[in-house]
Structure 1
Amino acid sequence: MGASGHIHSEHIGEALTNAARAALTDAGEQWTDLRADVFNALAVEENPLSAYDIADTLSAARGKRIAPNSVYRILDLFVRNNLANRIESANAYLVNRHPGCRHDCIFLICDQCGRALHLDDDKLTSGLRNAASDAGYEGISTIVELRGTCADCRAAA
């Protein structure tokens, strides 16, 4: 159970792709072959990927150049529709493994291996939202990034 008090459905594999397709089409958007390829490129990685990483991977797989601009547009669409999260400090993206749930984002990012762990703690982020609201801000989007060294990298050192 997440810190927000509800149970997440963490999707993997085909179930994740099906959940993403359903979320996007429910939002009135099309699930195209290129969008599916971009989503699947994100879904198989644990580390955040840049649009350039994805464009290179897809270009090699398809045997023709895929422009990073096209990938950026798709990633922006995915972020707007809760299919991916943007790691602001790295200008990179992670797939959202529970596209049906909307939360503010808290990321723990390893400075050594680059892995990013997504946490949900609505109690923490609601405090940030309340502070911003008290300061007169509206339409608040909360993305918290904490950087350090993960347990795996510390153990390998």
Structure 2
Amino acid sequence: MGQHAHSHQEHTGQDLVAEAARALVTAGEQWTTMREAVFAELARHERPVSAYDIADNLSAARGKRVAPNSVYRILDVFVANNLALRVESANAYLANTHPGCAHDCIFLVCDECGEAAHVDDEDVSRAVRAIAAARSFKAERPVLEIRGLCKACT
């Protein structure tokens, strides 16, 4: 089986922001102007971005300081509702290009350039969940990170 070819649509630009808003409201959360600004800033980046970078960019764009703690709280809501993916080892985030589609996070993280490729592999996800279940552990949000060098950096 291996890598799973998703039948859902990958969203970009304003379409991605609109889809994220729809998914968050459907989940019973509010879509505020600040959440929209944070998500739009996150979605603008192709590589993982930190809450501090988002806060700095929003502060510059708005002409007033945006606290990183506020951005972290919003990102936590996004991760909990599958609008963003967290690259744990880098403490950085990526916008989920298919909000509302729940799957495990498998990242290939380049130690040289910082690129993080998100991979969906149903076989790996099933195996990880089976390992957890065999130990009476309920896996809520599996995240696997494989560190190394991307093709461009090798």
Q: TM-score, normalised by structure 1?
A: 0.93
Instruction: Look up the match of 2:121.
Output: 121
Q: Which amino acid aligns with 1:112?
A: E
Q: Could you report, residue by residue, the CA deviation over 1:12-48 in whole angstroms, capped at 9, with x for unpaired residues?
A: 1111111101001111111111111110111111111
Q: Which amino acid aligns with 1:120?
A: D
Instruction: Look up the match of 1:16.
Output: 16
Q: Identity rate of aligned residues, in percent?
A: 58
Name the SS for the 1:113 alignment partner: coil
Instruction: Look up the match of 1:35.
Output: 35
Distance in 2 separating the partners of 1:96 and 1:82? 7
Distance in 1 separating the partners of 2:129 and 2:73? 28
Which structure 2 residues correspond to residues 7-156 of structure 1 after superposition, within 5 A?
7-154=7-154
Name the SS for the 1:94 alignment partner: strand
2:108/2:116 contact within 8 Å kept: yes
Q: Which amino acid aligns with 2:137?
A: Y
Q: Which amino acid aligns with 1:148?
A: G
Point out 4+ residue stretches in structure 1 off by more than 6 angstroms: none
Residue 138 of structure 1: CA displacement? 1.6
1:107/1:118 contact within 8 Å kept: yes
Structure 1 alignment gaps of length 5 or more: none
2:109/2:147 contact within 8 Å kept: yes
Say how many residue pairs are matched: 153
Residue 115 of structure 1: CA displacement? 0.8
Q: Could you report, residue by residue, the CA deviation over 1:40-86 in whole angstroms, capped at 9, with x for unpaired residues?
A: 11111111111111000000000000001100000000001100001
Distance in 1 separating the partners of 2:42 and 2:153? 22
Q: Which amino acid aligns with 1:145?
A: E
Distance in 2 separating the partners of 1:79 and 1:4? 21
Residue 5 of structure 1: CA displacement? 5.4
Q: TM-score, normalised by structure 2?
A: 0.94
